[in-house]
Chains A and B, each alone.
Chain A
Amino acid sequence: MAEETESTKTEPLKTAEEEFKKLEITEEEESELKLETSDHVTFMVEASIAMKFGAVQQYLEVSPAASASATAIPLHNVASRELILILEYYRMHDWVDAGERDLKEFDERFLKDLNYEELKELLLAANYLNVEKLFNFLTKSIANIIRNKDVEFVRTFFGIDNDYTPEEEAAYREENAWAGVKFV
């Protein structure tokens, strides 16, 4: 009995994976690319996803041999931890069956699991890799954090040193009172 249930559980997963692979193969000839992160971890990444990375595209334009050969494409500014997250995000968003609501839920969870430091690192990595979708998502998310917050919060959030003199600041606040700049 136990064996039966196990096999029935794994089966749909397997078929889904197979279908996924088939799709890839029909879409693109080469199946995987080798990527090496800054901490020297190599990843085998589906070409369909790797080609979404602007940095990878650029590298391949310069040295097209890399796609065929086994040499890894170096990603100097991306650590393995970030690359795992980025791949997770793209695999989800690349998944054919993912509905709009699934993606929304996934994004929320994805963001919830990150602390500010990880968020920053990920933003830098996304910027370096030139992955547009994730980059836009992250900048929008950060903007949402500081939206409708008072000036002091934003200062603490970004760690900004106020280099205005109190007079200058008061004058500016007075001038732009319409934008909701109030005195603290």
Chain B
Amino acid sequence: MAESVDGFTSLPIELLLTILSQLPFKEVVRNCVLSKKWSKICKSTTNMEFNELFFVKLDESDETKEAQRRAFLEFINIWIGNHQGSVVDKFSLRLSMPENVGDIIDRCVSFATLRGVKELALDFADADRSEDMVYFDDYEAQLMLPAQVYEHSSLESLKLYSCGFVVAQMVNFHLLKQVSLGWMKVSLAVIKALLSNCEMLESLSFNKCWNSENFDLGDEPNNTLRKLDIDKCRYDYGVFRINAPNLKIFKYCGLMHAFNVEIHCLELEEAHLDFSPEYGFEGYGHPLCNLVEALYTARLLTVCSFVLQVIPSGPEQIRDMHVRHLIMKAALHQNEFMGITFFLNCCPMLEHLTIEISSLNDLFDYEAPFDFNLMRFWIDHVGVYKCLRSSLKVVEINGFTGTMNQHHVLRYLIFSGVVLKKISINMLKDGSGNVESHCRKSAEILLTVPRVQLRNENLVEARIAGTVNISSFIILKDVLYAPMFSFNLVSISKLVSSLCCSLHFSSEICIIEDQRTKMIGSAKLMRGSYYLNSLKNEFNKEQVSFTVNNNVYGSMTVPESSLWHFKLGHASNSQLEKLCKQLSYVHINKNGVCDIYYFAKQRKTPFPLSSSKTLHAFELLDMDIWGPFPISSVHGYIKYFLTIVDDFSRFTWVVMLKGKYEAHFQIQKFVLLVENKYNVAVKKIRNDNGPEFIIDSFYATKGVFHQTSCVETPRQNGKAERKHQHVLNILNDKSSFELLHGRLPDLGVFGCLCFVSTQCSCRTKFDPRTRKRAFLVFKADVKGYVTCDLHTQEILVSRNVIFHDLMFPFKYAYTGIELIEFHDSEYHYLSGQL
């Protein structure tokens, strides 16, 4: 680092002086020792700071302190006397008990003013004052500002601690930009006069000032004020009013009290709120929200533990803040969690979040908005807020100690921060290695937290592209392998376009169906994402077939007894037996099992007529889904129907479905309906292997035995399948007539002609008394017949119907009515005893 640079010595002295003047005064004094030339340069520094505390150590005895103070005063005298330069830019004097040393102060001030000082700081407050004190005495100014300062018009910055002044005389400060007042009584009238006298005033700070007035700067806008800093001042904040349209920085530290806040500052960039001296909770929620809302334009916001605890007790939501950088001085105690989520929610543009671990502001009357399980809070009660999705890039935590709560918060931020780029964890330096190793461990665990990277705006490098077979139905093409990703993600849009499939999402499951609406896969909802189920059966099948193939190519010896079986091309035993009768040298090995025979020649076993029959109704229900019908229903979206056949009575119910996904619900509904209506429990349900029938949990609660047919064997589900055919035939309306006519006189035939009385209320004397209609269906929930008007195709339910079963008005003139069903009506039966 300390490479020798001979160049700098050759710099002109003025330049060296400029550089030196940038250093703190203490270092300038130290640098006098460099060389004689440098001692001269140092002695003309333009930046001087005389601080009593450089000399006086407060923990010494009074006598020593007195001696140290004398040395300090002497040093001031010598330095001022030896000063070589003609210019002083900054002059700062901190001296307690100024009454006895008025001459030195006068000398200092005239020294500084004569050399055109720009920044003057005079601090006469007690040396042993405590900065952190909440309740302080009523400080009085120790000394008045020396008169020559009022004449010094080139002053740009003035700091007066415990140093009184006459505001009426401050009329020459045309360049004054910064004023800092502290440790004395400052009335509002003085502040107002100051603001009006010094027209360039940009920055105003108050430190431990007090008065018993409201902090009300009035309605008149002050256009020059850029910065306002109120640090532990004691005013009555019943009304807090500032109208400074150009205010950029607002800083407040102190008690909350009940603010009636009116801050007009549209240009605000930074706001720092620190209520750490506060101890109460009750009733501050709404005023605090008002205050935070008034600061909504701030890009940098600092909040403290008090704010985080109290703000959730106010209104649930406030307007969106413009905050880009949020600093939370928090203990990450559970009381603060609600506040943290509150700010994450209302800062949608947040880019940088800093958490400074500090002590909890223990409020004696704290009340949680609601009870929550600490361990589950960051899982159950928080969403993924907008800032986490789109803007939050940097999270910084200072003073990390690895507690459980810190861990949970960081875990949440890492997991949900979609665009998060950087997390910096600065551990608390504690000296004892124990804490550090604990922190380290905790931080290392955080490194392994999985991340949601749904739409990462950084390009992630993909190493390999290829095809992945998830199952024989789902084959993903152009799969990119990105080692950075901790999740395997499937793009829905690509999946849909490449497989021509459709996806149905429900609250628990997502079903993937192919073009023919056959289910080819499913995904389960877990923690906000759908996880594709691995289709284990599918894999097993493949593995099995593979092993069999291996055997075929293995070595094999042919037993002599089976020779003829092989010679005749794996002839069957029955064929060989015929041969055997005629040719004595043909042998049959009845015990041998020939793989190839079965592989090549096995047939399906025949289906004999089933004679087993149930003895009671609802002992066995056969079910099947039919569809999709290529033409939608009148209502536009019904394409499936579920057929339920009772094995005992062969009574049939047909339920219309919008999609296969409805089957779950309808089956459950049906089982419950049977229980209620017939007072019988369903014992067994039989259907094909459709996944829509798998509702194991429901079957278990009802004690229903669920039986499925074998794969590709619809014959085992024969009753339901046969019923389908029947139902479709009825809809074809030709065979239905043949099937039904005459036998059930009460029933109309679908589509037959009927005359229906018109409603009296809409009829005049000369209107026809009936209208020509076609019979459609009986409705289970209304006592009447559903008919369709031949001309208007209006549908009506009425009991005044005369049927003409042999006439079919729609038989040749197909008018566009296709299939009609009724929603929400019960299972309407088409025929009673089919």
Considering the chains assembled together, what is the distance between the CA atoms of A160 and B11 in angstroms? 12
- Residue B8 lies at the interface, judged by CB distance under 8 Å to chain A: yes
Contacts of B23 in A (CB 8 A): 143, 146-147
- The residue on B at minimum CB distance from A180 is B30
- Residue B544 lies at the interface, judged by CB distance under 8 Å to chain A: no
Residues B1-17 near A (CB distance < 8 A): 1-9, 11-12, 15-16
- Residue B548 lies at the interface, judged by CB distance under 8 Å to chain A: no
- The residue on B at minimum CB distance from A117 is B7
Tell me, rounded to whole Å, the shortest Cβ–Cβ distance linking A152 to chain B.
8
- Residue B54 lies at the interface, judged by CB distance under 8 Å to chain A: yes
Considering the chains assembled together, what is the distance between the CA atoms of A72 and B707 in angstroms? 99
- Residue A95 lies at the interface, judged by CB distance under 8 Å to chain B: no
Whether the Cβ atoms of B55 and A117 lie closer than 8 Å is no
A143 and B22 in contact, given A116-B8, A123-B15, A160-B9 (Cβ under 8 angstroms): yes
Give a binary string over A123-159; 1 marks a CB under 8 Å from any B CB, 0 the rest: 1100100000001000110111011100111111111
Give a binary string over B42-69; 1 marks a CB under 8 Å from any A CB, 0 the rest: 0000000000001100000000000000
- Residue B26 lies at the interface, judged by CB distance under 8 Å to chain A: yes
Considering the chains assembled together, what is the distance between the CA atoms of A121 and B15 in angstroms? 12
- Residue A172 lies at the interface, judged by CB distance under 8 Å to chain B: yes
Q: Of the 9-residue stretches A25-33, A35-43, A61-69, A161-169, which lies at the interface with chain B?
A: A161-169
Please report whether the interface of chain A is mostly helix, strand, loop or mixed according to DSSP: helix
Could you say which of B8, B11, B16, B33 contacts A164, with CB atoms under 8 Å apart?
B33
- Residue B492 lies at the interface, judged by CB distance under 8 Å to chain A: no
A124 and B11 in contact, given A154-B31, A154-B34, A159-B4 (Cβ under 8 angstroms): yes
Whether the Cβ atoms of B36 and A163 lie closer than 8 Å is yes
Contacts of B8 in A (CB 8 A): 116, 120, 157-159
- The residue on B at minimum CB distance from A172 is B33
Tell me, rounded to whole Å, the shortest Cβ–Cβ distance linking A122 to chain B.
11
Contacts of A124 in B (CB 8 A): 11, 15
Give a binary string over B95-120; 1 marks a CB under 8 Å from any A CB, 0 the rest: 00000000000000000000000000
Tell me, rounded to whole Å, the shortest Cβ–Cβ distance linking A93 to chain B.
19
Considering the chains assembled together, what is the distance between the CA atoms of A151 and B29 in angstroms? 11
Interchain pairs with CB closer than 8 A, number: 100
Select the residue from B7, B20, B23, B36 with max chain A CB neighbours within 10 A.
Answer: B7
Considering the chains assembled together, what is the distance between the CA atoms of A153 and B27 in angstroms? 13
Whether the Cβ atoms of B15 and A127 lie closer than 8 Å is yes
Contacts of A146 in B (CB 8 A): 19, 23
A160 and B34 in contact, given A143-B20, A146-B23 (Cβ under 8 angstroms): yes
Whether the Cβ atoms of B2 and A176 lie closer than 8 Å is no
Could you say which of A156, A160, A173, A181 contacts B38, with CB atoms under 8 Å apart?
A160
Give a binary string over B346-359; 1 marks a CB under 8 Å from any A CB, 0 the rest: 00000000000000
Whether the Cβ atoms of A164 and B54 lie closer than 8 Å is no
Whether the Cβ atoms of A159 and B15 lie closer than 8 Å is no
Give a binary string over B217-238; 1 marks a CB under 8 Å from any A CB, 0 the rest: 0000000000000000000000
Whether the Cβ atoms of A160 and B5 lie closer than 8 Å is no
Tell me, rounded to whole Å, the shortest Cβ–Cβ distance linking B86 to chain A.
19
A164 and B22 in contact, given A117-B7, A123-B15, A154-B31 (Cβ under 8 angstroms): no
- Residue A179 lies at the interface, judged by CB distance under 8 Å to chain B: yes
- The residue on A at minimum CB distance from B28 is A179
Contacts of A159 in B (CB 8 A): 4-9
Contacts of B3 in A (CB 8 A): 116, 156
Could you say which of A117, A161, A178 contacts B5, with CB atoms under 8 Å apart?
A117
**Residue count of chain A within 8 Å CB distance of chain B:** 38
Considering the chains assembled together, what is the distance between the CA atoms of A34 and B703 in angstroms? 96
- The residue on A at minimum CB distance from B325 is A101
- The residue on A at minimum CB distance from B1 is A153
Considering the chains assembled together, what is the distance between the CA atoms of A156 and B8 in angstroms? 10
- The residue on A at minimum CB distance from B17 is A139
Considering the chains assembled together, what is the distance between the CA atoms of A113 and B60 in angstroms? 49
Whether the Cβ atoms of A176 and B6 lie closer than 8 Å is no
Considering the chains assembled together, what is the distance between the CA atoms of A145 and B678 in angstroms? 94
Whether the Cβ atoms of A181 and B33 lie closer than 8 Å is yes
Could you say which of A116, A147, A160, A164 contacts B27, with CB atoms under 8 Å apart?
A147
Contacts of A155 in B (CB 8 A): 34-35
A178 and B55 in contact, given A116-B3, A117-B7, A142-B19 (Cβ under 8 angstroms): yes
Select the residue from A121, A162, A178 with max chain B CB neighbours within 10 A.
Answer: A178
Considering the chains assembled together, what is the distance between the CA atoms of A148 and B23 in angstroms? 9
Tell me, rounded to whole Å, the shortest Cβ–Cβ distance linking B1 to chain A.
8
- The residue on A at minimum CB distance from B11 is A120
Tell me, rounded to whole Å, the shortest Cβ–Cβ distance linking A150 to chain B.
9
Contacts of A151 in B (CB 8 A): 30-31, 33-34
Tell me, rounded to whole Å, the shortest Cβ–Cβ distance linking B59 to chain A.
15
Tell me, rounded to whole Å, the shortest Cβ–Cβ distance linking B266 to chain A.
19
Considering the chains assembled together, what is the distance between the CA atoms of A155 and B22 in angstroms? 17
Tell me, rounded to whole Å, the shortest Cβ–Cβ distance linking B38 to chain A.
6
Considering the chains assembled together, what is the distance between the CA atoms of A151 and B54 in angstroms? 19
Could you say which of A144, A163, A176 contacts B32, with CB atoms under 8 Å apart?
A176
- Residue B18 lies at the interface, judged by CB distance under 8 Å to chain A: yes
Contacts of A117 in B (CB 8 A): 5, 7
Considering the chains assembled together, what is the distance between the CA atoms of A112 and B370 in angstroms? 53
Whether the Cβ atoms of B11 and A123 lie closer than 8 Å is yes
Considering the chains assembled together, what is the distance between the CA atoms of A155 and B15 in angstroms? 17
Considering the chains assembled together, what is the distance between the CA atoms of A162 and B31 in angstroms? 12
Tell me, rounded to whole Å, the shortest Cβ–Cβ distance linking A42 to chain B.
27
A169 and B33 in contact, given A156-B2, A157-B5, A158-B8 (Cβ under 8 angstroms): yes
Whether the Cβ atoms of B34 and A156 lie closer than 8 Å is no
Contacts of B6 in A (CB 8 A): 159
- The residue on A at minimum CB distance from B71 is A178
Tell me, rounded to whole Å, the shortest Cβ–Cβ distance linking A146 to chain B.
7
- The residue on A at minimum CB distance from B24 is A147
Considering the chains assembled together, what is the distance between the CA atoms of A176 and B20 in angstroms? 18
Contacts of A127 in B (CB 8 A): 12, 15
A158 and B22 in contact, given A176-B29, A176-B30, A176-B32 (Cβ under 8 angstroms): no
Considering the chains assembled together, what is the distance between the CA atoms of A160 and B24 in angstroms? 20
Considering the chains assembled together, what is the distance between the CA atoms of A176 and B18 in angstroms? 23
Whether the Cβ atoms of A148 and B7 lie closer than 8 Å is no
Could you say which of B4, B7, B27, B55 contacts A156, with CB atoms under 8 Å apart?
B4
Tell me, rounded to whole Å, the shortest Cβ–Cβ distance linking B287 to chain A.
32
Could you say which of A116, A139, A153, A163 contacts B35, with CB atoms under 8 Å apart?
A163
Whether the Cβ atoms of B9 and A139 lie closer than 8 Å is no
Whether the Cβ atoms of B19 and A139 lie closer than 8 Å is yes
Could you say which of A139, A144, A173, A178 contacts B33, with CB atoms under 8 Å apart?
A173
Whether the Cβ atoms of A140 and B22 lie closer than 8 Å is yes
Whether the Cβ atoms of A164 and B35 lie closer than 8 Å is yes
Considering the chains assembled together, what is the distance between the CA atoms of A180 and B6 in angstroms? 26
Contacts of A161 in B (CB 8 A): 35
Contacts of B20 in A (CB 8 A): 143
Considering the chains assembled together, what is the distance between the CA atoms of A180 and B55 in angstroms? 11
Contacts of B18 in A (CB 8 A): 135, 139
Residues B76-96 near A (CB distance < 8 A): none
Considering the chains assembled together, what is the distance between the CA atoms of A148 and B38 in angstroms? 17
- The residue on B at minimum CB distance from A143 is B22
Contacts of A172 in B (CB 8 A): 32-33
Considering the chains assembled together, what is the distance between the CA atoms of A117 and B55 in angstroms? 39
Give a binary string over A8-24; 1 marks a CB under 8 Å from any B CB, 0 the rest: 00000000000000000
Considering the chains assembled together, what is the distance between the CA atoms of A117 and B10 in angstroms? 12
Whether the Cβ atoms of B54 and A158 lie closer than 8 Å is no
Considering the chains assembled together, what is the distance between the CA atoms of A142 and B16 in angstroms? 10
Considering the chains assembled together, what is the distance between the CA atoms of A142 and B17 in angstroms? 12
Give a binary string over B466-503; 1 marks a CB under 8 Å from any A CB, 0 the rest: 00000000000000000000000000000000000000
Rank and list the top 7 A-B pairs by shortest CB-CB distance, nearest first.
A143-B22, A179-B29, A116-B5, A120-B7, A159-B6, A156-B2, A158-B8
| CB<8 Å pairs between A and B, sample of 13 | A123-B15, A124-B11, A139-B18, A142-B22, A146-B23, A148-B27, A155-B34, A158-B34, A160-B35, A162-B35, A163-B36, A176-B32, A180-B27
Q: A147-B23, A157-B2 are in contact. List 5 more A-B contacts (CB 8 A).
A: A142-B19, A158-B9, A159-B8, A163-B37, A180-B26
